[in-house]
Amino acid sequence: MADLFPFRARRFRDPVTGDAAACAAPPYDVIHGDERETYAARSAANVVHLTLPTPRDGLDPYASAAARLSEFCADGRLVQDREPTLHLQDVTFRAPGDAPGTLRTRHGFLALARVEPIGQGAILGHEEVLPKAIEDRWRLMTATRANLEPVFFLYRDPDGAIDALLQPVRERVAAVDVPLDGMRFQFRVAPPSIARDVSARLADEPLYIADGHHRFTVSNRVREEHPEWPGARFRLALFVRAEDPGLVILPTHRFVDRVTQDLERALRARQDEWFDLEPVAPSALLQRLADAHGAMAIWWRRRGEAAIARPKSSASIRLGATPEPMRSLDVNVLHRGWWDAAALATTPPTCRYVRGEEDPIGLAEQDDVDLAVFLRSPPVATVLAVSNQRRFMPPKSTYFFPKAASGQVLYRFEDAPAS
C-alpha cells in the first residue's frame, strides 16, 4: 500500500563546523517568541531561516525563504547526496513525568512518501485540521517548491524486521550528535542498498500520520494545484515504528480565557447533563486525573471549583453514531458532546491549546484563565484504530513527543525520484 522512496537529500551543513549540529531546530509550530532568534543565531545555516522566514531585501517572508534556499544550495550550506538513500534520526530524551535520570530512545528514518488524499489510500490520519494553519505553510511551500521539514509517520512492524535492517547502520555509521532543548538527536546516513530493502518491506503497509496533518494537507493542495511540478507528488517524512518503546504521546489541554455569562451558564448546565463530577482540590487535579481512566478534569478557576469529570452512561448513547474507540475518548466527549451541546444555546467556546510538556496548572493561574479542561493522552493503539476507521478526532488531540527535528535534511521538488 505505502510508496516509500529513498531520495537525494539536501543535507544541512554549518559553514563553520561543517556538520549539521548547529543547523537543527524544532518544527516551526512549537517555536515561540524570541526562540526563533536564538536558533537563527546558532548558525547561518539554521533551518529557521527557511521555516520561519523574515522579510529581506524588499522581499516578503515567503520570497525571502525561496531566495535563501537557493543561496544555501549554491554556497554549500546544503549539500546534496550523491545517491538516493535514507537518513536515520534517533532521539534520546526524558519525557515529562518520568523519574529523574530516566531516558528513552525513539528510532526513526527520513524518506519520501507519495502524496495522496488522507484516508483514501495508504495514508491515514486521525485529526481534523484548522484551516487558518494551512495558508501560511501553503504559501511557503509554493514559494520554495520544497519540503523544509518532515511530517511524522507511524508504520506497523510487530516483528521488528525494519529495525533489524537499520540496526547495523546505527552500529557502524558514525552519527552527528545534535543536542537540542535537553534532548540528544543522532543523525546518520544509510547505505543505498539498505534503503531499497526498507522500501520493499513497507510496500504492503499503511502509513499513519502522527504529527503533521496540516503540512500533509498542504502537500495535497500543492500537488493538485501544480501538476506541472512532478516533485510535488512526494513528501518528506520521518518514519517511526508504531511499536517503538520510545514512542510517547502527551495530552493537549484546553484553556478558555474569556467566558461570557451566557457561555458559562450554558456550559455549567450541560456539564451536569454530561458528567458525574468528583470535586478535587486544584493542586491535586493532574495527579488524580492520571488514575481516572476515561475521565477529564475541569477547573472553573475564578470560582475555585475543580473536579474529575466522568462521562455519564447517557453520553455514550448521545454519541452513539460514533464508533468506539473514538466515542469514549475524552477529547471527543468534550468537543462533540459537552461543548457542542452548550453551543446550541450560545456562542461556542474558543479555546487555546496547552501542550502536556508544560505546567498547565501554573500556566492557567499565570494567564488568568476562566476555564481549563485537562485531558489524558490516548494510547498509540487507539490512534491507529481511529485512523483505520477513517475517523478524525478534533484538532490537537495528540502531541507526539518529542517532535521530529528539523534541519537534518530537506527535499526540493527538483530532486524528485523517478517513479
Residues 252-376, CATH architecture:
2-Layer Sandwich (3.30)
pLDDT band, very low/low/confident/very high, at 318 (cuts 50, 70, 90):
confident
Q: How many Å apart are CA 28 and CA 206, to the nearest integer?
A: 27
C-alpha–C-alpha distance, residues 296 and 376, integer Å: 7
CB atoms near residue 78 (< 10 Å): 22
Q: Which residue has the higher pLDDT, 17 or 226?
A: 226
DSSP 177: E
pLDDT of residue 238: 98
* Model pTM score: 0.95
Q: Is 312 exposed, middle or buried (0-12, 13-18, 19+ CB in 10 A)?
A: middle
- What per-residue confidence (pLDDT) applies to 133? 83
Q: What is the band of 164 on the pLDDT scale with cuts at 50, 70, 90?
A: very high
Q: Could you state, in order of their start, the residue ranges of all structural domains in the chain?
A: 4-249+401-415, 252-376
Q: What single-letter amino acid sits at 320?
A: G
Q: In this model, does residue 358 exceed pLDDT 80?
A: no
pLDDT the model gives residue 203: 86
Give CA–CA dist 66/72, Å, rounded. 10
Q: For residue range 11-53, list pLDDT tens digits in order.
A: 999 998 888 899 999 999 999 989 999 999 999 999 999 999 9
Position 313 scores a pLDDT of: 87
Q: How far apart (Å, rounded) are the C-alpha atoms in residues 297 and 300?
A: 10
pLDDT of residue 1: 66
Look at phi and psi of residue 140 and say left if phi exceeds 0, alpha if psi is from -120 to 50, else beta. alpha
Q: What span, in angstroms and rounded, lies between the C-alpha atoms of 311 and 290?
A: 16
List the single range of 71-75, 272-276, 362-366 with lowest mean pLDDT.
Answer: 362-366
pLDDT computed for residue 366 by the predictor = 81
Distance CA 79, CA 245 (A): 33
| CA distances to 251, 286, 395 from 325, in Å | 17, 23, 17
Inter-axis angle of helices 61-75 and 132-144, nearest 10:
40
For residues 225-242, average pLDDT: 98
- 252 φ, ψ (degrees, to nearest 5): -125, 115
What's residue 341's pLDDT? 92
Percentage, residues of the chain above pLDDT 90 = 83
Cell reading at 266: 450554558
Check residue 222 and give its pLDDT. 98
Give the mean pLDDT of 369-379. Answer: 95
At residue 104 the predicted structure's pLDDT band, cuts being 50, 70 and 90, is very high
